Amino acid sequence: MTNEEEIIKLLKEHSKTLARIENLLTSKKSKTPPLLKKASITQQKKMTVPAFLVLLKEDKFFDQPRTLKDISKKLKEESRNVPVTSLTLPLQRLVRSRQLARVLQDGKWSYVRRD
């Protein structure tokens, strides 16, 4: 089985794998980070909030400190209407797993890429 056939098999089985492979393939072709808009709309609707946050991290959104308001605004731009209160727990989990760091700036907590 060739690499392409293995990739196709993985794409059919796991939608998360699809998003990661698209990001890897896109980032190898160009130096610019892949955009979330390249993912299909149906795929975006199936994604959970934590998965979307991880995708934002992979797309280098968290390379600069981002407040809850910034994150909510970005999700709205990507057609994801998520209340700010639904972001706190997934963000806490990403901080605990050391994927993101939380920093205090101007009296507001911001989230930034850790690795």
- What does the pLDDT look like over 57-106, one tens digit per residue? 999 999 999 999 999 999 888 888 888 889 999 999 999 999 999 999 98
Instruction: Provide the residue ranges of all domains of the chain, joining segments of one domain with +.
Output: 3-113
Q: How long is the chain? A: 115
pLDDT at 92: 94
pTM: 0.59
Name the pLDDT band for 45 (thresholds 50, 70, 90). low
C-alpha 39: how far from its chain's center? Answer: 12
CB atoms within 10 A of CB 87: 19
Q: 3-113 is classed in which CATH architecture? A: Orthogonal Bundle (1.10)
* Partner residues linked to 111 by β-bridges: 66, 102
Contact 53, 94 (CB under 8 A): yes
Can you read off the two tokens belonging to residue 106?
């101007």
